[in-house]
Amino acid sequence: MEKRAVIPSFANYFIMGLLAFVYVTPVLFMIVGSFKPDMLVLPEAGTWRGIFPVTVSLENYVSVFERVAFERFMFNSAIINGLIVGLGLLVNAPAGYALARLRWRGRQVALGFVLTLMVIPFEAIALPLFYQVTVMGWRDDYLVQAFPFVAFPLSIYLFYSFFLSMPKELEEAAYIDGAGIFRTFFTIVVPNAKPAFASVAIVTLLMFWGMYLWPLLVTAGPSVRPLPLGIATFYTLPPLQWGDILAFGVMMVMPVLVVFLIFQRWFVQGVASTGVK
Amino acid sequence: MSGRFRKYLHVNASDAAAWGMAGPALAGICIFILTPFLLAVFLSFTNLALGSPLPLEFVGFRQYRVIFTDTGFSRALLNNLLFLTGIVPTQTLLALMLALMLNQRLKGIAIYRTLFFMPVVFPMSLIAVIWTLIYAPGPDGLMNTFLGIVTFGAWEPRDFTNHPHLALPAIMLLSVWQGVGFQMVVLLAGLQGIPENLYEAAAIDGAGRWSRFVHVTLPGLRNPLIFVIIITSILSFRVFDQVRIMTRGGPRNATTTVVFEAVRVGFDRGQVAMGAAMSVIFFLIVLLITVIQRRLLKQEGVQ
């Protein structure tokens, strides 16, 4: 079988290596800068010391914890995204199943409704939604940051497509044995739909964990604010200490980066599944 | 459509049970998507402003007229269009190039995929902060140094984020940096879905590399490419985080965007009705792009 090499492999590795190097420079720069004395971050930015570690000091990391409650931001992000992903799977998976497999009055309308609302980007409704929750006197807690994203048309659609393509023999056997819809769904369908659950969990996590606009609108102080807002406010907190800011950044992405490296295959599949229908 | 789906619907569920399963999600999207959307349309025809002593009244299209004459909104629209024309070609071509490279059977290729995909998991707010430092003015800045090296010293250090002509391209660059890994993965999945025997058949017919690319690869990538182009177009209208954190729309509205203006007006200044009108226009733009996408995808279905 022909190897589909575009160019000879040496040149290939070289070009890709160069590209990859340029590409990861900002990340290297962040990591290296976070470990060096604050005074040196900017002066050394344009030298080879900007991206190769020469000094390793944890000073900046200590300083971050002295200046802000980093662990608080981390905890807030974990709670908010845990709610979005966990509750999201709980409500969107059954909805996708009902739309794909059950025959009920209102199914067509509901399906059209979900597909239509998929078109509305969050930025188009952020302001009126902000007004809506403000009128309700609802702000500055975890729920107001998580609830608007729990029921999510794209997730419903992804589950719907998955269940459409799933072989139906297993469920049929369960239904013939007299099991009800809920029991069949939770005992037969869910265990066989793990890839769909993993994809949807990852896609929603990727979409929402970096969210900045909504927490900016509905939170007032650091007590319930998530990391993306944390880094933005920490960056404007005087005095401007770049080493601290970069240390904040490293600590902030590390958990998700580790999760990404471990479950890389799922990330890539999850993302690809949204694009290739 | 319904005829095709009917065979999958093998259960005559009681309506109550089905609503029990679909109900919570449907209720959620009614409350948190449909309601605010209708509210945006409704509010955009009123004079509502927080802290305003005026009674609530309908003002017709006044907000829409005002935003096109009084504010930075026209500039914001222009900037988003510039953003689109800048990043759609570059990001798509770069993603395509990376996907083609990563589609080769070479040792260690997975590492490259990991590296290029990595920025996708970085929140934009963090990227905006890191790149503010990369764009540091003066000869010490990383970007200034880099441009100095590649131009053999001809580059004069600039203050990127405060430069009237460079601020917007500077924001585009980091947006491409963050987003290209996503498009790459989508295109890579598309490439891997093209049957190998098409390439073999083309090779037997004497097609060269370029010819195979044009006649096998590109047609095979049609849908993923449309998807990538459309998503990037929509994203270039959704730009907000970078602008809010890096430039606040400046210098002199050079980097303001539609969503940034909507938040500045509707949230910072409390002019709810005007912000709602901007949200509605933003939605109509995204809708237009989506309709174009559906058209293009449908055309192919007919062929």
Q: What is the pLDDT of residue A269?
A: 75
Domain parsing of chain B, residue ranges: 73-255
Residues A224 and A76 sit within 8 Å (Cβ to Cβ): yes
Structural tokens at position B102: 């990563």
Structural tokens at position A213: 């606009």
Model confidence pLDDT, tens digit, residues A52-98:
787 788 999 999 999 999 999 999 999 999 999 999 999 999 999 99
Residue from the list A6, A132, A206 with its beta carbon closest to the beta carbon of B39: A132
Mean pLDDT value across residues A198-219 = 93
The count of CB pairs under 8 A between chains A and B is 317
The whole-angstrom distance between A67's CA and the closest CA on chain B is 18
User: Would the CB atoms of B13 and A103 count as touching at under 8 Å?
Assistant: yes
Residues A99 and A156 sit within 8 Å (Cβ to Cβ): yes
ipTM of the complex: 0.90
Residue from A32, A118, A257, A276 whose CB has the most chain B CBs within 10 Å, to mutate: A276
Q: In chain B, what residues touch A4 (CB-CB under 8 Å)? A: 103-105, 199
* B272-302 helix and B222-238 helix, angle to the nearest 10 degrees: 170
Overall CATH class of domain A74-224: mainly alpha
Name residue B212's beta-bridge partners. none
CA distance A192 to A198: 12
Type and span of the H or E element at A71: helix A70-101
Q: Which of A13-27, A160-174, B70-84, B202-216 has the largest mean confidence?
A: B70-84
User: Would the CB atoms of B123 and A104 count as touching at under 8 Å?
Assistant: no
User: Would the CB atoms of A245 and B129 count as touching at under 8 Å?
Assistant: yes
Mean pLDDT value across residues A108-131 = 94
Look at the domain B73-255 and name its fold. Answer: MetI-like fold (1.10.3720)
The verdict on A116 touching B (C-beta cutoff 8 Å) is: no
Q: What is the pLDDT of residue B10?
A: 52
Q: Flag whether pLDDT at A136 surpasses 80.
A: yes
Model confidence pLDDT, tens digit, residues A231-267:
999 999 888 889 999 999 999 999 888 888 888 877 7
Question: Confidence class of residue A175 from pLDDT cuts 50, 70 and 90?
Answer: confident
Q: What is the pLDDT of residue A22?
A: 86
| 3-class state of residue B46 by DSSP | strand
Domain parsing of chain A, residue ranges: 74-224
**Alpha helices in chain B, H assignment, sequence order:** 2-6, 15-29, 35-44, 62-69, 73-102, 109-117, 124-134, 142-150, 167-192, 196-204, 209-212, 218-220, 222-238, 241-246, 258-263, 272-302
CA nearest to B13, candidates A225, A198, A97:
A97
CA nearest to B161, candidates B178, B179, B174:
B174
Q: What is the pLDDT of residue A203?
A: 87
Cα–Cα distance list, B43 to A119, B67, B69, B263, B295 (Å)? 21, 14, 19, 15, 31
B 238-297 residues with CB < 8 A to A: 238, 240-241, 244-245, 259, 262-263, 266-267, 272, 275-276, 279-280, 282-283, 286-287, 290
Q: What is the pLDDT of residue A7?
A: 54
Q: What is the pLDDT of residue A275?
A: 55
Cα–Cα distance list, A30 to A18, A254, B136 (Å)? 19, 12, 14
User: Would the CB atoms of B21 and A33 count as touching at under 8 Å?
Assistant: no
Model confidence pLDDT, tens digit, residues B250-302:
798 999 999 999 999 999 999 999 999 999 999 999 999 999 888 887 765 54
The verdict on A97 touching B (C-beta cutoff 8 Å) is: yes
CA distance A22 to A228: 25
CA nearest to B92, candidates B199, B209, B226, B205:
B226
Q: What is the pLDDT of residue A171?
A: 82
Residues of chain B with pLDDT under 70: 1-13, 299-303
Averaged pLDDT of chain A: 88
CA nearest to A32, candidates A19, A17, A15, A46:
A46
The percentage of residues in chain A with a pLDDT greater than 90, rounded to a whole number, is 53
CA nearest to A72, candidates A205, A224, A248, A221:
A224
